[in-house]
């Protein structure tokens, strides 16, 4: 077969399609979005249909995938690392019920926080749920491991966590596919003793999960994702995931002879690790993410012969790269030129002509006349309103937190309490917070910046917009008279200021929907394929 | 053989189109490719870069180590300077001289030029003007690719067939215009390529 040039994220998608999935469930999030997008664009010509529309959030995605697995079919769930916080309840408990059809949870972590609010390491969740974790090191490995993950999931009866990081997700390389495996037939099982997690069942299932751990460790010992690159040096390297790539880059460039144990399949392959420690005086532990296993291997009293992120041999935070691995292996850095002093930062910004600009212009004008001008906001393109020239928002914590934080602030007595949230983030996790505010009569104004898309991740369909958002707010119990729609355009500025002022000054729950299509998605719809050079 | 290229620009300028052409040409030449790109927040008008590595052997790292880039290909002059720590001592800078100013404190063009000239015989390209000469300002990325072509270690014919393959769907006129832009860029850097 020919090699195709694929992003790591796309290699997972192709592996899942060829591995016989019947559905993918996901909410967009950098760097995981392209997995689902690839399946959406490349499954039409498959013999059997694959469902692939976006879910409202990661939890609904994970649960739907578990339902597909319950029915005997293979399902893939994809999310970014913080999405797993949202899906955690479903994910952890799917390890207690176990699966029927293969269930793979692909989670893309973002060390160095290129496009995220933290750099949490999803391997911790894998360990927490006590399920197998695969962490491939190349695009080809991602393809092969994704296929294998479904077989593994079915053979051990557990979900499998497939962990990747930004560099692999967003890097292209040639990938060779294999034959297509047909989808599983519909085969729903009556197994209430597994799936009804009342305490008596849950205790038995949990013991079963504990009992299978030894088998999982044995499987790791023989996994092709774990292998030793032999060497004669007395310093060995234990390289997890893509840390392996940087170690090998240094090893080849400088002709080092250190033994390298590559680990890409967890739980830890105990015997292989013991062998490495027995033959080396010192072991450098290189992990892309938190020093999860370095900490475990050091133990409470600290292993004297272990180097890594915890003793400063590698940086404690941020991505690894060839340079910091070279430094850790005692090689002096090649000094390049310095960045000239005249080079200033170029932060991202709201697009020219974006409706959010006009919304923030109006909001800033309204808030400047208030005694307190705190604006609680959320995650999306409109987060860029935190930067100059607007500096319009003062919080951005997690999906949906704008409404609930504004509610808490209102409860504390802050007036006015204002939240700005996007359409997609509102349906992801904002609706329930709004219900809390209504039930509690917390006076706040929620501005839904409705651009009809999930814009920051590249313009995926939102779960609801326009008239459906109105209906949702009405249904949740917002008073009809205090649900307003404005059009964020320069020509509407005076009118928008008037509406916002009125609602912000009203002592009750109000919603202002600022409705204007994202200029990027609008342009994409208009663009004829032939005119784009 | 191993070539490390840093592609630089501003989110939305289309450096990934340049990357796609080089990737395809390298793959069609039987070479190994790794190309790391930036998605997400920075794509909204922020500084973006792509690490592109080509080799006749296995490539391990998706990222280029500091001081080892053979080429910095930038579609914006200030952005070329941002990645100088990656440039190898004998590496080449090929950059457009068209500034993209979307922030405070953008330095004077003379200051940028003088910093660029501290690198090894840089190729400075008035890309927008040359692109208009080729027929459309939107072909400026192909002008830049043409100017950088001699330093990519890939045969120009392979790059041209990759342009044809990638733009083919858009019709023969678009292909011809982009090839024209590529050749204009190539002519510009030819004297320097043979000299170095």
3-state secondary structure A84-141: HHHHHHHHHHHHHHCCCCCEEEEEEECCCCCCCCCCCCCHHHHHHHCCCEECCCCHHH
Same domain, A146 and A52: yes
Is some CB atom of chain A closer than 8 A to the CB atom of B33? yes
Is there a domain that residue B190 lies in? yes
Same domain, A311 and A415: no
pLDDT of res. A533: 36
Q: Which of A114, A102, A107, A53 is nearest to A78 (CA)?
A: A107
Q: Which of A172, A169, A150 is nearest to A81 (CA)?
A: A169
Q: Look up residue A455 and give its two tokens.
A: 């814009």
pLDDT of res. A530: 40
pTM, rounded to two decimals: 0.96
Is there a domain that residue A133 lies in? yes
Is there a domain that residue A322 lies in? yes
Q: Which of A12, A2, A15 is nearest to B27 (CA)?
A: A2
Helix (H, G, I), strand (E, B) or coil at A415: coil
* C-alpha span between A15 and A21 (Å, rounded): 9
Is some CB atom of chain A closer than 8 A to the CB atom of B106? yes
Is there a domain that residue B119 lies in? yes
Contacts of B24 in chain A (CB under 8 A): 5
Q: pLDDT band at B196, cuts 50/70/90? A: low
* C-alpha span between A472 and A485 (Å, rounded): 14
Summarised one tens digit per residue, pLDDT across range A416-468 is: 999 999 999 999 999 999 999 999 999 999 999 999 999 999 899 999 998 99
Is some CB atom of chain A closer than 8 A to the CB atom of B160? no
Is there a domain that residue B104 lies in? no
Contacts of B81 in chain A (CB under 8 A): 339-340, 342-343
Question: Which of left, alpha, beta for A255 (phi over 0: left; psi -120 to 50: alpha)?
Answer: left
pLDDT of res. A93: 98
Summarised one tens digit per residue, pLDDT across range A471-520 is: 999 999 999 999 999 999 999 999 999 999 999 999 999 999 999 999 99
pLDDT of res. A527: 75
Contact A445, A504 (CB under 8 A): yes
Same domain, A497 and A369: yes
Same domain, A84 and A156: yes
* C-alpha span between A138 and B181 (Å, rounded): 35
Alpha helices in chain B (DSSP H): 15-28, 77-82, 109-116, 127-134, 140-148, 156-167, 172-195
Residue range(s) defining the domain that contains residue A201:
3-211
CB contact under 8 A, A530 and B174: yes
Q: pLDDT band at B40, cuts 50/70/90? A: confident
Same domain, A376 and A467: yes
Phi and psi dihedrals of A259, rounded to 5?
-70, 140
Q: Is the pLDDT of residue A95 over 90?
A: yes
Beta carbons within 10 angstroms of residue A459's beta carbon:
18
When the pLDDT of each residue in chain A is averaged and rounded to a whole number, the result is 96
State the average pLDDT over residues A369-380: 96
Q: Is the pLDDT of residue A5 over 70?
A: yes
Phi and psi dihedrals of A198, rounded to 5?
-80, 160
Residue that the structure tokens 């399902």 belong to? A75
CA distance A359 to chain B (A): 18
Contact A90, A59 (CB under 8 A): yes
Q: What CATH number does residue A510 fall under?
A: 3.40.50.970
Contacts of B64 in chain A (CB under 8 A): 322
Residue that the structure tokens 């893509």 belong to? A242
Q: Which of A211, A236, A251 is the last residue of a domain?
A: A211
* C-alpha span between A283 and A258 (Å, rounded): 10
Name which of B32, B62, B138 is nearest A171 (Cβ-Cβ): B62
Is there a domain that residue A348 lies in? no
Same domain, A234 and A324: yes
Contacts of B167 in chain A (CB under 8 A): 533
Is there a domain that residue B122 lies in? yes
Contacts of B138 in chain A (CB under 8 A): 533
Kindly report whether the peptide bond that precedes residue A373 is cis, defined as omega within 30 degrees of 0.
Answer: no
State the average pLDDT over residues B181-193: 90
Same domain, A511 and A365: yes
Same domain, A261 and A157: no
Helix (H, G, I), strand (E, B) or coil at B7: strand
Same domain, A165 and A297: no
Is there a domain that residue A278 lies in? yes
Helix (H, G, I), strand (E, B) or coil at A229: strand
Contact A197, A93 (CB under 8 A): yes
* C-alpha span between A453 and B147 (Å, rounded): 38
Give A171's DSSP letter.
Answer: E
Residue that the structure tokens 């999982």 belong to? A216
Is there a domain that residue A342 lies in? no
In percent, how much of chain A has pLDDT > 90? 94
Contact B110, A367 (CB under 8 A): no
Pairing of strands A260-263, A227-229: antiparallel
Residue that the structure tokens 């369909």 belong to? A461
* C-alpha span between B87 and A337 (Å, rounded): 7
Is there a domain that residue A340 lies in? no
* C-alpha span between A508 and A523 (Å, rounded): 38
Summarised one tens digit per residue, pLDDT across range A283-325 is: 999 999 999 999 999 998 877 799 999 999 999 999 999 999 9
The count of domains in chain B is 1
Contacts of A532 in chain B (CB under 8 A): 170
* C-alpha span between A220 and A263 (Å, rounded): 9
Phi and psi dihedrals of A46, rounded to 5?
-75, 155
Is there a domain that residue A333 lies in? no
Pairing of strands B32-36, B47-55: antiparallel
Handedness of CA A17, A21, A23, A24 (dihedral sign): negative
Same domain, A324 and A438: no
Q: Which residues have CB under 8 Å from A279's CB, separation 6+? A: A236, A259
Instruction: Give the burial string for B139-173 (b: 16+ CB within 10 Å, else e).
Output: bbbbbbbbbbbbbbbbebebbbbbbeebbeebeee
Give A462's DSSP letter.
Answer: P
* C-alpha span between B111 and A406 (Å, rounded): 47
Measure Cα distances from A236 to A307, A327, B60, B173 in Å. Answer: 10, 15, 18, 58
Same domain, A376 and A499: yes
Length of chain B equals 196
Q: What CATH number does residue A287 fall under?
A: 3.40.50.920
Q: Which residues have CB under 8 Å from A85's CB, separation 6+? A: A120, A398
Name which of B42, B78, B119 is nearest A348 (Cβ-Cβ): B42
Q: Which of B125, B174, B175 is nearest to B149 (CA)?
A: B125
Contact B32, B55 (CB under 8 A): yes
* C-alpha span between A390 and A384 (Å, rounded): 9
CB contact under 8 A, A346 and B138: no
Is some CB atom of chain A closer than 8 A to the CB atom of B68? yes
The count of domains in chain A is 3
State the average pLDDT over residues A67-71: 98
CA distance B61 to chain A (A): 5
CA distance A250 to chain B (A): 9
Residue of B52, B63, B108 to mutate, testing the A interface (most A Cβ within 10 Å of its Cβ): B63
Contacts of B41 in chain A (CB under 8 A): 30, 114-115, 348, 384, 456
* C-alpha span between A472 and A455 (Å, rounded): 21
Same domain, A313 and A370: no
Higher local confidence (pLDDT), B108 or A333: B108
> Helices then strands (H, E): number in chain B?
7, 6
Q: Look up residue A280 and give its two tokens.
A: 């080396």
Handedness of CA A48, A54, A59, A64 (dihedral sign): negative
Summarised one tens digit per residue, pLDDT across range A117-156 is: 999 999 999 999 999 999 999 999 999 999 999 999 999 9
CB contact under 8 A, B63 and A322: yes
Structural element, H or E, at residue B52: strand B47-55
Q: Which of A285, A312, A328 is the last residue of a domain?
A: A328
Residue range(s) defining the domain that contains residue B28:
2-99+109-195
Q: What CATH number does residue B188 fall under?
A: 3.40.920.10
Which residue of chain A has the CA closest to B140? A533
């Amino acid at each position: 077969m020919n090699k195709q040039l694929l992003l790591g994220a796309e290699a997972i998608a192709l592996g899942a399609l060829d591995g016989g999935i019947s559905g993918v469930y996901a909410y967009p999030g950098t760097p995981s979005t392209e997995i689902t997008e690839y399946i959406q664009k490349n499954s039409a010509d498959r013999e059997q249909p694959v469902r692939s529309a976006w879910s409202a959030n990661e939890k609904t995605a994970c649960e739907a995938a578990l339902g597909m697995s319950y029915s005997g079919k293979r399902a893939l769930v994809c999310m970014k690392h913080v999405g797993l916080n949202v899906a955690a309840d479903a994910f952890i408990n799917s390890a207690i019920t176990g699966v029927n059809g293969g269930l793979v949870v692909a989670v893309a972590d973002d060390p160095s926080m290129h496009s995220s609010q933290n750099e949490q390491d999803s391997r911790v969740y894998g360990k927490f749920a006590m399920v197998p974790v695969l962490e491939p090191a190349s695009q080809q490995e991602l393809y092969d491991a994704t296929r294998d993950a479904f077989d593994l999931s079915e053979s051990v009866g557990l979900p499998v966590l497939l962990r990747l990081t930004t560099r692999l997700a967003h890097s292209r390389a040639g990938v060779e596919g294999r034959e297509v495996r047909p989808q599983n037939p519909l085969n729903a099982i009556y197994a209430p003793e597994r799936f009804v997690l009342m305490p008596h069942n849950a205790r038995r299932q949990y013991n079963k999960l504990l009992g299978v751990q030894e088998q999982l460790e044995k499987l790791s010992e023989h996994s092709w994702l774990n292998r030793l690159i032999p060497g004669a040096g007395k310093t060995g390297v234990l390289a997890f995931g893509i840390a392996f790539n940087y170690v090998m880059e240094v090893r080849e460039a400088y002709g080092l002879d250190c033994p390298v144990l590559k680990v890409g399949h967890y739980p830890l392959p105990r015997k292989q690790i013991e062998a490495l420690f027995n033959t080396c005086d010192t072991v450098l532990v290189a992990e892309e993410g938190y020093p999860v296993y370095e900490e475990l291997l050091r133990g409470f009293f600290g292993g004297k012969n272990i180097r890594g992120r915890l003793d400063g041999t590698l940086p404690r935070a941020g991505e690894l790269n060839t340079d910091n691995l070279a430094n850790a292996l005692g090689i002096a850095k090649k000094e390049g030129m310095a960045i000239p002093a005249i080079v200033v930062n170029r932060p991202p910004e709201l697009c020219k002509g974006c409706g959010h600009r006009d919304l923030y212009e109006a909001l800033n004008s309204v808030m400047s006349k208030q005694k307190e001008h705190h604006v609680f906001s959320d995650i999306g393109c409109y987060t860029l309103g935190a930067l100059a020239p607007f500096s319009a928002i003062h919080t951005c914590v997690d999906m949906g937190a704008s409404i609930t934080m504004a509610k808490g602030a209102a409860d504390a007595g802050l007036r006015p309490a204002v939240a700005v949230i996007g359409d997609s983030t509102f349906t992801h996790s904002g609706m329930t917070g709004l219900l809390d505010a209504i039930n509690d009569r917390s006076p706040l104004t929620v501005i839904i910046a409705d651009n009809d898309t999930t814009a920051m991740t590249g313009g995926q369909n939102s779960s609801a917009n326009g008239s459906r958002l109105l209906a949702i707010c009405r249904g949740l119990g917002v008073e009809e008279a205090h649900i307003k729609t404005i059009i964020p355009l320069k020509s509407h500025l005076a009118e928008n200021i008037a509406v916002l002022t009125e609602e912000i000054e009203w002592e009750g729950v109000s919603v202002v929907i600022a409705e204007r299509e994202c200029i990027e998605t609008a342009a994409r719809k208009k663009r004829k394929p032939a005119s784009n050079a | 053989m191993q070539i490390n290229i840093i592609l630089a620009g501003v989110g939305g300028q289309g450096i990934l189109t340049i990357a796609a052409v080089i990737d395809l040409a390298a793959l069609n030449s039987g070479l190994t490719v790794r190309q790391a790109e930036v998605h997400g927040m920075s794509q909204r008008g922020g500084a973006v870069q792509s690490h592109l590595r080509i080799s006749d052997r296995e490539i391990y790292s998706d990222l280029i180590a500091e001081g080892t880039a053979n080429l910095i290909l930038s579609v914006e002059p200030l952005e070329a300077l941002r990645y100088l720590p990656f440039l190898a001592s004998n590496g080449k800078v090929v950059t457009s001289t068209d500034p993209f100013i979307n922030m405070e404190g953008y330095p004077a063009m003379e200051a940028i030029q003088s910093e660029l000239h501290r690198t090894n015989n840089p190729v400075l390209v008035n890309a927008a003007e040359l692109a208009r000469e080729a027929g459309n300002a939107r072909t400026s990325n192909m002008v830049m690719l043409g100017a950088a072509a001699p330093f990519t270690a890939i045969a120009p014919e392979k790059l041209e067939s990759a342009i044809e393959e990638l733009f083919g769907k858009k019709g023969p006129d678009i292909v011809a215009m982009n090839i024209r832009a590529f050749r204009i860029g190539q002519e510009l850097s030819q004297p320097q390529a043979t000299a170095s």
